[in-house]
Amino acid sequence: MIEAPFLRDLSQLDAKLRNDGVVVLAAADVAKASSAPTAEMMALPSRWADLPPDNYLKDGGHYRRRRHSCYRIDGGLMQAVPHRAHWQSLDYNALHGGMQRWFEPIDPVVADSAAWVALHLWLADVASRRFGRQSWFVESHQFRIDTTNGIGRPTPEGAHRDGVDLVAVFLVARHQVKGGETRVFDSRSPLGQRFTLEQPWSLLLLDDERVIHETTPIQPMADGGYRDTLVVTLRRGSFQGG
**Which residue in 41, 242, 11, 7 sits closest to 129, CA to CA?**
11
89 pLDDT more than 80: no
Q: How far apart are CA 97 and CA 163, in angstroms?
A: 11
Q: Provide the 8-state DSSP code for 46.
A: G
CA distance 76 to 121: 6
Residue-wise burial string across 68-85, b where 16 or more C-beta atoms lie within 10 A, e elsewhere: bbbbbbeeeebebeeebe
For residue 153, give the nearest of 195, 213, 214, 232 by alpha carbon: 214
Residue 182: which of 199, 162, 196 has the closest Cα?
196
153 pLDDT above the threshold of 80: yes
The pLDDT assigned to 9 comes to: 97
The 3-state DSSP class for residue 104 equals: coil
Asked if residue 94 has pLDDT above 90, the reply is no
Convert the pLDDT of each residue in 190-239 to its tens digit. Answer: 778 999 999 999 999 999 999 999 999 999 999 999 999 999 999 999 99
- pLDDT over 90 at 189, yes or no: no
**What's the pLDDT score for residue 190?**
75
Return the pLDDT at 51: 98
pLDDT band at 85 (very low <50, low <70, confident <90, very high): very high
Q: Does 3 have pLDDT greater than 90?
A: no
**pTM listed for this prediction:** 0.96
Query: Are the CB atoms for 166 and 129 separated by under 8 Å?
Result: no
What number of other Cβ atoms are within 10 A of residue 27's Cβ? 18
Please give the helix or strand (H or E) that residue 202 lies within, else none: strand 202-207
Give the relative orientation of helices 114-131 and 13-20 as an angle to the nearest 10 degrees: 60
CA angle 184, 236, 110 (to 5 degrees): 75
Q: DSSP label at 180?
A: -
